[in-house]
Structure 1
């Protein structure tokens, strides 16, 4: 039996259009798809194929604006290298 190692990444989502006192309505699926699209853009098909198995956006909090991402050990480098390049999530408002 093989044990899979996972890496968890915590991300704070900053949105200048929504003030801090209002909740940020962002579904985990939208954030997940945006991150996969950015990985596709930066690392191509190999990056998406490596990340897809075991990749999950586990949590998105509306009030604290924190998201938790799970990825397998190894391809987590594709995820962490793509995060700084996400500047816009289209369906945030």
Structure 2
């Protein structure tokens, strides 16, 4: 990211607060953690620490130029972000991708 760290962290915390409130309003327990380093490593650590039964992650990350497509050399509905793809392939718990 070309933005400064403090600005990115503030934006991330605002998004987390909205998602957490929405989940709590629906009676869903959540664990908030803003990822600031290696996303896959951090997510796996959080999954283990929280004893998560399920992971819900957006199919595309913040960098829409890096993706894995299952249709060679085509942008398709099957397109997912590289971190989402690695988590989907290596997670010990089920992963739900959302768009």
| TM-score normalised over the length of structure 2 | 0.30
Relative to total residues, which structure has the larger strand share, 1 or 2? 1
Between 1 and 2, higher relative CO (CA 8 Å, sep ≥ 6) is seen in 1
| TM-score normalised over the length of structure 1 | 0.31
